[in-house]
Structure 1
C-alpha cells in the first residue's frame, strides 16, 4: 500500500538542499541573526516580486495581520468585515485590536467572500474589509476596492495562502491598501519555521509598521508607540530568498497537477475547484466537494492517501464568537461547505504514479 502525504516538505527540501545549507552557513558566519542583511534583501525581493514599494518582515502571518490593522488605526468600537471560511487568525486579530469581526458569507464557486453581501453589512462603524484569497484563489478585488473607495474603508488582503497568485495580471498583494503573507512551512512559499510579511504602497503605513514591529521604537530605545516584538528571523529570510526564486516554477507545477485532477475526476460526483479565467489560482490546497466527505476521507486513509478538512467549523460558529449572535443557517454557504469540502495531496514534487493512484482510488470508491 502506498503512503502519500497531503504535503511532502522533505521532498521539496531535497531539491534545494545544498543551496539552503550554504546560505545558513553564511548567516552563521556573518553573526547577524536579527534584522540583518538577509532580512533587508528578502524584503526588497518580495517588494519587487509583488510590485509594491514596501515589504516589512515580521515574526509570522498572524502578526502581519495584527500589525497592519494596528498601524491603520483600527481599534475599539470599529467593525471589520471578513469571511467566516478561513483560518481563525483572520478574525482573531480583529478582536485583538479591540474591533468586532463582521462575517459575510462566501461565494459557492470560489469559496471567497461574496462581495454582493458586503454592502449590506457596511455602517458607520465599519472601518475595514479583510478579503482572504482562500486556497490560492484571488478574491474579486475590483468590486471590493470600488466598495471600499465609496465608503473610505481600509482593505487588507489576507494573502497567507496566495503568494504568487494573480488577479487580472497583477500580483495578489498589490491591489488593496496593504496585504499580509504567512511563511508557515506548509505555505506555497514556506520557511523552516514561522515568518510573515506585510506589503503596501503607503509610505506612512509602512513606517508605522516598521516602528510597531520593534516595540514601537524609532530610533532604538526611543518609544513613540506601544508596539510588539515581531521580527523576521535572519535564518528564515535567507532560506526564503532561495525559495522565492523557485516559487513561480512550483506554483506552475501545482497548476498543472490541478488540471490533471480536474480532468481525471470529471466523471465522478465530486465538485472540483473553480478557477476564474482572469485570475491565476495557485492551489495552496486542492479542494474537492463531496456529499459523503467523511466516508470518502476514511476510504482514502485506508488506502494510504492523506486528506484534510479546511475548515470544519466556520468562524461565526466557533465558541468564542457565539456571543456575536449568529444563528445556525445565518451564513448557509459557509456552513454547507464546512461539511462537504476536503483537500487531497497536491504539491510540486508529487509524481504522476502517486496522482494516478489517488485518482484510481477515488474512482474505485464511487464504483
Structure 2
C-alpha cells in the first residue's frame, strides 16, 4: 500500500555499506529497502517506591497484577489515575488493542487470507482488558500518545505505564524529571495474561530508509552519512540512548524492558500488506467501546466491517475462486458458486482433467462463470499437440477473451485495443478435435465402464475413488490410495504394468511456493496423499482381459509381502 515511497538501497549498500551486517538489511523481493539499527517494543514501566507504599513488593507481571496494583494505589489514596498508556484515538488505540489481543492468543487474519478474525473470543478478551486498564488511566487518555504519557511519568503523576521502550532512555536520564522518579523507575517486560505467558507487545525495529522523491545525489549523500555513523564508537558514545542492534551495545537499565519483552516471546508486528488497514479500522472504531457506548462484540463487528470496506477499495479482498477439478470429476460447484456470489467473486474452473464430466445433469463448461480446459494429448479430449479453450456464457466477456487471444485485437488485426497474447489453436489441432468430438461421448462411457470395473474388483484391497453425489467423471485418471505405494509400483513394473503418481510433491513444498502462507496445521492431507496415491492404466480402449491382468497384478503386489 506504500509502494513507491522508498527506494531500493542495493546500490548504496554496495558502495557505502561495508560495515552493515546482513541481518540488519531489511530485504523485500531481493531489494534492500531499509537498514535496521534499533529495537523497540512496548513494555511496562513501574514506580517501585509507590508500589511498595501500596503494599506491593514486586513489579507486576500480568495484566491482572497491573490492575490489582493500580487498584491498591487508588485505594491507598496515593493516585486516582496511576496508569498511563498510549491511547490517543486513532493509531495508538489500535496498537493498544494489538498488544492485549496478541497476549490473549489472537490471530489477526484467517490463516493464508486477508479475512479478519479480531471479532473473536480473544478480541473480546482484549477489549475487556483494555477497559479494565483505562479504569485507572487519566480521564484524557484518548488524547494521550507517547509525548503526553512520558510527560506525565516524568512529572511523577503515574506509577504504572505501558509505553514504548524508546522512552526509557529519556525517562531515566537526568533531564526532565526528579531524582525520586528516575531512581524508582523500573523497566520490565510487557504484562501477559497469565504468569509466564506471551507478553502483550509487538516487536519493532527502527532504522533508515531513503525516499524516492529526493535526487540520486541527495540519496547517496544521506545514506553515506547515516551508514557511516553506524559504528561501535557511536554506540559507545550513546549506549543508553537506545536499544541498539549494533556491535558494541551493552544493555543497561533503559534496555531492560525491551530485552525482557523479546525474551518472553513477544511477536513482531505483523508484516502483512493488509495489517495497516486493520490497524486503522481498530483505531477508528474502538473509542465508543472505551467510552462505554457499545459492547465489545459490536465494536469488533464495526472494526471488521470498516476493514472489509477499506480492503475492497484497496483491492485486497479475493475477486476469484479457482477450483481445480481432479482426476476427471468436477468440484462441488453449487456450494462454491453460492459462496462466491455472497462475497461478490466470480468462479473460474480449471477443468483440464474434467472436460466431459457433469454434475447434477449439467456438463462441465456451464458450472462456473468461466471454465478453462486443456486439449493436451493425455486429457480426456486430447489433440495431437498443445491446445486448450475457455468457455463462458457471457458474450461480452467472450469478445474480450477473443481479443486477448489475438494480441489484444480490436476492429481489425492492426488495431490493438488491449494487451494480449498469441494463443490461437492451430488448424491442424482443430481438425483433430473436430473428429475426436464425434466419438467423445462413447469414449466417456467406455471410461466410466472401465472405472466401475476397477472399483468393483479392487474395492476392499485399495481405497477406490468416490464420486461426488450427482457427479459423472471423465476419468482422466483412475487413482487409488495404497499403503507402501513405492513397493506396489515396483511390483507392478516388474509385471510390465505402468503406473503414475499425481502428484508426488505438493505445491507448498516446492521452492517457489515455500514463502506462501499455510494454515496452522500445515497441509497434512496433501502431504499424506502425495505418499499414497497411485494411478492405474486408464483408456477408453482398455480391454477387459488387460484390465483383469492389471487388477490381478495389483492384488499380487499387495499380497507380495
When normalised by structure 2's length, the TM-score is 0.43
State the distance in 2 between where 1:217 and 1:272 align.
48
Q: 1:238 aligns with which of 414, 425, 431?
A: 431
Q: 1:320 aligns with which of 501, 508, 512?
A: 512
Q: Deviations 1:66-114 (Å, cap 9, x if unpaired)?
A: xxxxxxxxxxxxx89xxxxxxxxxxxxxxxxxxx9xxxxxxxxxxxxxx
321-330 or 130-139, larger mean C-alpha shift: 321-330
**Pair 1:287-2:507 in alignment:** no
Q: 2:446 aligns with which of 247, 253, 277?
A: 253
State the distance in 1 between where 2:402 and 2:321 align.
22
| Pairwise CA distance, 1:331 | 1.6
* 2:413 aligned residue: 220
- Unpaired runs of 5+ in structure 1? 1-78, 81-99, 101-121
Q: 1:343 aligns with which of 517, 531, 535?
A: 535
- The answer to which structure, 1 or 2, has the higher relative contact order (CA under 8 A, 6+ apart) is 1
State the distance in 2 between where 1:228 and 1:366 align.
49
**Pair 1:265-2:434 in alignment:** no
State the distance in 2 between where 1:243 and 1:264 align.
30
State the distance in 2 between where 1:256 and 1:172 align.
19
Q: Deviations 1:136-171 (Å, cap 9, x if unpaired)?
A: 111101110000100110110111111110010000
State the distance in 2 between where 1:169 and 1:259 align.
19
Q: Deviations 1:228-280 (Å, cap 9, x if unpaired)?
A: 01101111001101101111110111111111111111231x10011134110
Paired residue secondary structure (2:338)? helix
Q: 1:136 aligns with which of 309, 321, 328?
A: 328
The answer to whether the 8 A contact 2:499-2:536 is kept is: yes
Question: Over alpha carbons, which structure has the higher Rg?
Answer: 2
The answer to whether the 8 A contact 1:136-1:281 is kept is: yes
* 2:399 aligned residue: 207
**Pair 1:310-2:502 in alignment:** yes
Q: 1:127 aligns with which of 308, 319, 325?
A: 319
| Pairwise CA distance, 1:328 | 9.2
Paired residue secondary structure (2:491)? helix
* 1:333 aligned residue: 525
State the distance in 2 between where 1:156 and 1:128 align.
7
Q: 2:388 aligns with which of 179, 196, 219?
A: 196
State the distance in 1 between where 2:394 and 2:429 align.
26
* 2:376 aligned residue: 184
The answer to whether the 8 A contact 2:329-2:467 is kept is: yes
State the distance in 2 between where 1:366 and 1:155 align.
41
Paired residue secondary structure (1:337)? helix
State the distance in 1 between where 2:520 and 2:556 align.
35
* 1:172 aligned residue: 364
Aligned pair in 2 of structure 1 residues 225, 201: CA closer, same or farther (>3 Å)?
same
Q: CA RMSD in A?
A: 2.1
Paired residue secondary structure (1:343)? strand
The answer to whether the 8 A contact 1:317-1:326 is kept is: no
Paired residue secondary structure (1:156)? strand
| Pairwise CA distance, 1:325 | 3.6
Aligned pair in 2 of structure 1 residues 328, 296: CA closer, same or farther (>3 Å)?
farther
Paired residue secondary structure (1:324)? coil
| Pairwise CA distance, 1:314 | 1.4
Which structure 1 residue ranges, 4+ long, deviate > 4 Å from structure 2? Answer: none
State the distance in 2 between where 1:131 and 1:216 align.
27
State the distance in 2 between where 1:130 and 1:333 align.
19
